[in-house]
Structures are given as structure tokens and as C-alpha cells.
Structure 1
Amino acid sequence: MTAGSSRSARPGSRAAAVVTTAVLAAAALWSTAAPASAIKGGGPATTKARPYAMLIEYNGSQFCGGTLIAPTKVLTAGHCVESAGDVSTLRVIGGRTHVDGTDGTVREVASYRLDSRYGAPGYAYDAAVLTLDRPMPYRTIPVAGPKDGKLVAAGRTATVVGWGRTGPGEQATRLKQARLVISPVADCRPYTDPETDPAAMLCGLPRPGTTDSICPGDSGGPLISGGKVVGIVSSGNKYCDEQYPVSVFVRADSVAADLGIPTR
């Protein structure tokens, strides 16, 4: 099948050994294939307040995040799909604030669609959509479109949500959120590539006086501005410390058409 088309989640449909440029690039920043991370800094969040926040498990452990954009559609990072290899091993969980909880709604992945440009220079187009086997009973969130440029203007603040590490060697226990300042893509180097199309990526930096950032495994989670998903967590603070408090996102409006996602 060609990249960008819908693919079945049946076992063996995607070999675990498949590795692309974007996966290698992401792995250089953090271990995306390991049980994942959470936001450093920030504060607590709940799935009651953020019902569209989806926890993605791999082999029973928290692996990535995602965003419910339609009852059966979850937007996430492309490298979360590729790192899993066989997406039938993924479970999507809604309504679960605490990682070790048993509440919420669990769904299997029926199929997925990877952006056809995945693997481009830098980390651009690191995006995918999962189709669930049954609808989720939670409120969805719209995806920003080409006319929403003001939502990602430099200097604007946006909120990132995830279940990742909270510091070096620390594992997340609950959903967290943090406010970041949207900045020029060049401000997130060396976590962005000079060849990266700045129209396809977003850089999030801590607000003055904070060291908030994403950490390994927040991958796939949403960056929210103006009540819409404007970005998808792609890469960032490898060590989850104060050295490199940067957060890199794929612009949602740059991948929506390729993934067949309506914007509004």
C-alpha cells in the first residue's frame, strides 16, 4: 500500500522492523519506542476537562498520546505508529486521567493512515490518524485549518496535554498540561532541522520564569490554541530537564488534507 492510504491493523500488516528517516530522527531525540513520557512542569489536568485527550498503550504500558477529532478518529504522531510496528497491539483509552487507573473506555485500532510525506527532512509531517473499532463516547475537538494562522502566531500561548515523564528518571502518573509560547521554528534547534519547512512545524518554548516542556512519550498529544488542535507533539526535551526545554510540534493544518481530516 502507498503511504497516506488507510491500512488495516491486522497482525503482520506492518513489520516491526520498518524504520523511516523520521523514526530515526525522533529516536535521536528521545526513545519513542519505550513506554512514554509526560510533561515537565505545568500542572494537573483531567480527562473530564480534556475529554478529547486519548492515552495510547502499547503492550499494556502508556506509549503515546492522541486527540479524539471524531468519534472513531484519533490524531497522533506518525512515529507512534511506526514504532509500534503492528498497530493491532495498540489500545486507545479515553476518560482515564491516571495512568494506572482502570476507568475509562478502551478501544482497539481497526486501521490507520500515515501522512504520505512522512520521512521528509526534519520532522515534518510526522502525523497519522487511527480509526477505532468502535466510537468513543467523549467530546471531540476540531482541527485548525489554513485560515487559523492567528492561533499559531509567534508570541501566542498554547496548551500542551500529555501523560509523560515529569523529570529525569521520573514516570508520569497522571495527565498534565502546560502553557507554552509559540516561537519561530529556528528557536527550537537543534531539535529541528535546517531543512525543515517552517510552515509544517511549530516550536513551543517555556513562558518566562518556567521550564515547562514536553518529554519522551508525550508524542502524538495535542497542542491546543483557541479551542482547536493546532499541533501534534513530535519531539523535544530528550532528557526532561532544564538544559533543552523545547517542544516541537507538527502543524495540524499542514497534515489535515493528506490525512483526510476536515478542518473548521
Structure 2
Amino acid sequence: MHVKSFNVFLNLYVLISKYFNFSNTTPIIGENVQQAIESEFPFIVSLVRLSSNYYKPERNYICGGALISPKNVLTAQHCLEEERQIGVVILIGSVNLRQTTRYYIFWWKTYYDWCESRSYPLQFVVNDIAVIRLISEVPETLVPGLITNVSNAIFHGLDAEIVGWGITNNGKHPKIMNKATVNIITIETCEAIIERLHGAKLVVDARFLCSLANPYILMDKVNI
């Protein structure tokens, strides 16, 4: 394969799995991006800003997240940094944002806050993780995703589904969840491709997953 036909992406990740292993990120741009099927990823949720334009919530989209218990949502810390708790709601229950149920936030806590409250030392400077507690539980029929803590190495060579309502090929946030498939590659392969394309050696931290797709799938603004 001609490596220049690939884009390589680095993603600080939290892997959540039910029947698939995937990472939730934004945007999702590329030739093979498709709309998700209803109930395909029932534990994926959307964070949106409260607005009078409730009938078009995609216009107020902030980030995606994952339901990890009947009352807890896992998301990225950076999604909350410029937001007020009373100004954000969680939309759950459909791949179509206009057909979801609105859930209100009781509190949220970042990994940094959690460590500070317990006087735990931070292993890394940047820890882009936050948990949101909902005021009310979701129905029992909505099964949360499962968090895996296995080594990254177990995913090398596997395909992964990325999903969300991130900016699409037309530059807008869609009302229907999008999905795309990428392949997880080893850190060594990732570093070799980066060096070949960029002309310089880059050390990729073990916390990151590298993925590639052909045709390309742009998952984030960090692309090499």
C-alpha cells in the first residue's frame, strides 16, 4: 500500500464496548461515512446547549458521550470547559437528535476534580475525562455501554467504529448520528508512517490509539 493515501490520526481515547469497540469523537469526515441505524448504538448520547430552538438540537451540539450506568454519562473534559451546567442537557434514546429524550444534569466531575478531592497524584498533565450525573435514570430498556480497561495492544489490527454527530462533509452538524470504520494500528507502525510522511520522528504516547482508513476518515483536527 502507498502510505501517502492514508491519513493517520492520534486519539486520546476511552474505549466503550457492547457489541463493538469504538471511540467517540468529532468531526467525522470522509468518503465512507454513513448514517447509523436506529438502536445500533443505544448508549451513545449527545450534549447540547439549551436553546429556544429545541426542534433543531443539532444546531446547539457540543459533544458526544456514552451512557455507562442508568444515571452516569462519560464524556471529554474539554467539552464542558466553556459550558455552564444549567445550560447543557443530555439527549438520549435515538440516532435522530430530534427524536431523543431530554435529560437534565445533576452534577459533573472531571478526572482532575476527582483526583484533587481524594488527594490522588495526577500521572499525566492532561486527562480529558469527565463524568456527568443525570437527575433521573434512563429506562431499563436502555442498556449502558461497558468500559474496558484492557491493554491497547489487544485492539491492534482490529476495525473500530467511530460514531457521533460531529461536523460532516457539508460542514454542518447532522441530526442523524454518523458512523465510520477505521483500523487500529500499532504505535510502532504509527510512528513509522508519521516519520515517512512528516520527515521527522515523533514519539507517540502509549495512551493514544492510532488508526487509519482508506479512503481517509477525518476524526479530529489532529491529522498527520
Offset at 1:168? Answer: 5.5
Correspondences of 1:27-176 after superposition (within 5 Å): 38-41=27-30, 42-60=33-51, 61-84=60-83, 86-99=84-97, 101=98, 103-116=99-112, 117=122, 120=125, 124-137=126-139, 138-146=142-150, 148-153=151-156, 155-167=157-169, 169-176=171-178
User: How many residues of Structure 1 are paired with residues of Structure 2 in the alignment?
Assistant: 172
Instruction: Report if aligned partners of 2:152, 2:209 keep a CA contact under 8 Å in 1.
Output: no
Alignment RMSD (CA, Å): 3.0
Work out the CA distance in 1 between the residues paired with 2:130 and 2:39: 25
Correspondences of 1:194-209 after superposition (within 5 Å): 198-206=205-213, 208=214
TM-score by length of 1: 0.57
Runs (5+) with no aligned partner, structure 1: 1-35, 215-235, 239-243, 247-264
Offset at 1:113? Answer: 1.8
What is the SS of the residue equivalent to 1:129?
strand
Structure 2: which amino acid aligns with 1:39?
A: I
Specify whether residues 213 and 45 from structure 1 end up closer, same or farther in structure 2 by C-alpha distance, changes over 3 A only.
same
Specify whether residues 151 and 69 from structure 1 end up closer, same or farther in structure 2 by C-alpha distance, changes over 3 A only.
farther
Work out the CA distance in 2 between the residues paired with 1:188 and 1:72: 41
Specify whether residues 46 and 87 from structure 1 end up closer, same or farther in structure 2 by C-alpha distance, changes over 3 A only.
farther
Where in structure 1 do 4 or more consecutive aligned residues deviate above 6 Å? Answer: none
Q: Deviations over 1:22-41 (max 9, x none)?
A: xxxxxxxxxxxxxx954213
TM-score by length of 2: 0.66
Give 1 or 2 for the bigger CA radius of gyration: 2
